[in-house]
Amino acid sequence: MSMEGAAWNSLYRISSAKDSNKKISKETVKRIFSFAVPYRVKLTLFILLSVVSAVLAVSTPVLAGQVVDAIVSGTGLQTILWLAVVIALIAVADAAVGMATRWYSSSIGEGVILDLRTAVFDHVQKMPIAFFTRTRTGALVSRLNNDVIGAQQAFSGTLSGVVSNVVALVLTMIVMLNTSVLVTVLAMLMLPIFLLPARRMGGRLAALRREAADLNSSMSTQMTERFSAPGATLVKLFGRPVEESNEFELRASRVRDIGIKASMLQWVFMTALMLVSALALALVYGLGGALALGGQLNAGDVVTLALLLTRLYAPLTNLANARVEIMSAVVSFERVFEVLDLDPLIKEKPDAGSVPAGPVTIEFDDVRFAYPSADKVSLASLEEVSTLDTRGGEEVLHGISFRVEPGQTVALVGTSGAGKSTIAQLLARLYDVDSGSVRLGGADVRDVTFESLRHTMGMVTQDGHLFHETIKSNLLLARPGATDTELWDAVRRARLEALISSLPDQLDTMVGERGYRLSGGERQRMTIARLLLAQPRVVILDEATAALDSTSEAAVQAALTEALEGRTAVVIAHRLSTIRTADLILVIEDGHIAERGTHDELIERSGRYAELHRTQFAVQKSVAPDEAAEALTGSGPGS
């Protein structure tokens, strides 16, 4: 590596480093090297090849000096040709070693990236829903991309770099001191002029890079949110395109200014270091030439010293910045470990069994529950806050008990925030109860495997979420091995056959981000088709028709009737008219069961349910059904 190359590398490493003043704990080092265990053979060969490369790099200047001496002394053409052949062979060997080193570097580095990404991805999938409600998706994706790539540099770059630079430095110093102590010492005196500006300039560039990274992150977040269908709609509805553009331009302008400033700093730095390089070479040629004329050095020695000079400064510079490189990689590892160290609240027991076969009962036995606080499910860095919100832990369900027999339907009604959706989430084990138990077929949901629970239960939520994939791919989430015949059967029963048949690509049609190429009713029927394909024994409907118009609701309701047939069901009611035939209706108020019974029984009691029913139908005479239902039963996330 040339002096200029070393300068660029030095400047980049320092400016890209993170928290280089931190101390490295032994536990972190042990954990980092645990990722190297599967690659220990490759890593050993990689380091050995790096050493060989360093030896070859020092050999060429020495041979070049001998060529000059042979020319000056007139030794003969044969000697010169042999030296040229040896230099050529060294060049070929260096290229071969470089290729092998690159392969091992890529193999180890990409392997570590694969291991880390897979570990983080698998771990994140085990996290509870509360984790995803608090975490910024972009921050989490950054851990899987930027930090994972930064972490792998510890193996593919820093480790081999330290070894090869130490070997190169020792060999270069030995040869240079053996050639001329005076020239070597004087050349070393210029090293501080090379390193100190790199440190100072690197610190200033690091601050600029961090600010630019934060601004780019903010712009990415703004673009991600505003370029989605709901975000773009919101901006247009409130007439804020100009304000959004101005806000984006302000950040982009600052990034531009930072880019210009950083570019000028780099130019000043590189110009100064090129001057140092020229002065160092002038010193070698001037002093070395004078010594050669005085008979104290050979002409070839001057050439050797000049060529070795760059091989002296480059490893010295890289080793001086080794701590910066190491800390940068360690910080990346620590940011990855932060995610891996988050303890999933919902865990499968080692001896977990299955939900008993046959018809399934649902039982809630004195269930009490409080949503977990942020410190149990999230990280401040993933939420972009300085400290986590300490609120939480307040009980929202207070001694909920009920039983649903196989094939029966229980309906949950009540005002927004009463705890209806919380009950549904506990049944699906998206959260675990704090006390009491939730049982399916007599088995506590905490004692069964996740696979058994998912095969037993199906859920349709209010938003009808779909992935930006084909209709077929979205349906196959429920049953990956389903045939096209089975897919079309589910589509027909969900009242979607006419729609999908009319599409050019039919089942292979892309639905768009979050399914926004489909209407709200069509998305809901897609989720019902997915449910029908899964054939669960227990169905949860969490206000599945809350956001639909009357026409769409009728189509979805017809599909739901088929989906519920013969299954045990929990239905969170949006309109009371849709749950008149439920076997059991529970009125949930402030985390308690205020009333329970059939529709007719509750009407006769003239209690809270009768009041809701009477008020809802009275309001429906003067306002739209959707408005009346929302005013009475609510459809928010806290319901």
292/378 same-domain check: no
**In-domain check, residue 596:** yes
For tokens 């990409």, what's the residue? 110
Last residue of a domain, one of 282, 308, 340: 340
Residue 347 in domain? no
User: How many domains does the chain fold into?
Assistant: 2
Residues 526 and 613 in one domain: yes
Does residue 242 sit in helix, strand or coil? Answer: helix
Residues 6+ apart with CB under 8 A from 332: 18, 146, 147, 148, 149, 150, 151, 153, 154
Does 354 fall in a domain? no
pLDDT for position 286 = 83
Residues 408 and 326 in one domain: no
CA dist 210 → 145, 249, 263 (Å) = 17, 19, 15
Residue 626 lies in a domain: yes
Let me know if residue 221 belongs to a domain: yes
Under 8 Å between Cβ of 451 and 373: no
Predicted pLDDT of residue 497: 81
Q: In terms of domains, do 165 and 290 share one? A: yes
The pLDDT, as a whole number, for residue 389 is 61
Residue 600 CA to residue 603 CA, distance in Å, equals 5
Helix axes 3-16, 241-293, angle to 10 degrees: 140
From residue 369, alpha-carbon distances to 126, 217, 399, 436 in Å are 20, 36, 9, 9
CA distance to 176, 480, 549, per residue, from 120 (Å) = 49, 24, 41
CA gap 28, 610 in Å, rounded: 62
Domain C-terminal end among 340, 374, 409: 340
| 320 and 446 assigned to the same domain | no
Q: What is the separation of C-alpha 214 from the centre of its chain, rounded to a whole number of angstroms?
A: 17
Question: Do 129 and 194 lie in a common domain?
Answer: yes
Give 159's Cβ-side CA count (13 Å radius): 26
Say if 179 falls within a structural domain: yes
Q: Is residue 348 part of a domain?
A: no
Mark whether 462 and 562 lie in a shared domain.
yes
What is the 3-class SS of 403-426, one letter each residue?
EECCCCEEEEECCCCCCHHHHHHH
* Domain termination residue (choose one: 280, 309, 340): 340
What integer pLDDT is reported at residue 391 of this predicted model? 63
pLDDT attached to residue 234: 65
Burial class (CB within 10 angstroms; exposed 0-12, middle 13-18, buried 19+) of 383: middle
Q: Report H helices in 365-449.
A: 374-377, 380-383, 420-427
pLDDT (0 to 100) of residue 631? 36
The span from the CA of 384 to the CA of 380, in Å, is 6
Residues 74 and 142 in one domain: yes
SS3 102: helix
What confidence score (pLDDT) does residue 611 get? 79
**Residue 92: predicted pLDDT:** 92
Tokens of 388: 């986590």
The maximal CA–CA distance of the chain, rounded, in angstroms, is: 121
Enumerate the β-bridge partners of residue 274.
none
The pTM score is 0.65
Same domain, 488 and 403: yes
Phi, psi of 104 (to 5 degrees): -65, -40
Instruction: Answer yes or no: is 353 within a domain.
Output: no
Give just the sign of the alpha carbon dihedral 473, 479, 481, 482.
negative
The domain in which residue 159 lies consists of 3-340
- Cα–Cα dist 392/414, whole Å: 23
Which residues is 572 bridged to in the sheet? 412, 542
Which parts of the chain have pLDDT scores under 50?
Answer: 2-4, 7-8, 11-12, 14-15, 620-639
Residues 483 and 532 in one domain: yes
∠ CA 563-555-600, rounded to 5°: 70
pLDDT of residue 260: 81
Q: CATH no. for residue 155?
A: 1.20.1560.10
Contacts of 215 (CB under 8 A, 6+ apart): 251, 254, 255, 258
- Looking at the fold, whether 137 and 282 belong to one and the same domain comes out as yes
Task: Say whether both 327 and 368 belong to one domain.
Answer: no
Report the CATH number at residue 514: 3.40.50.300
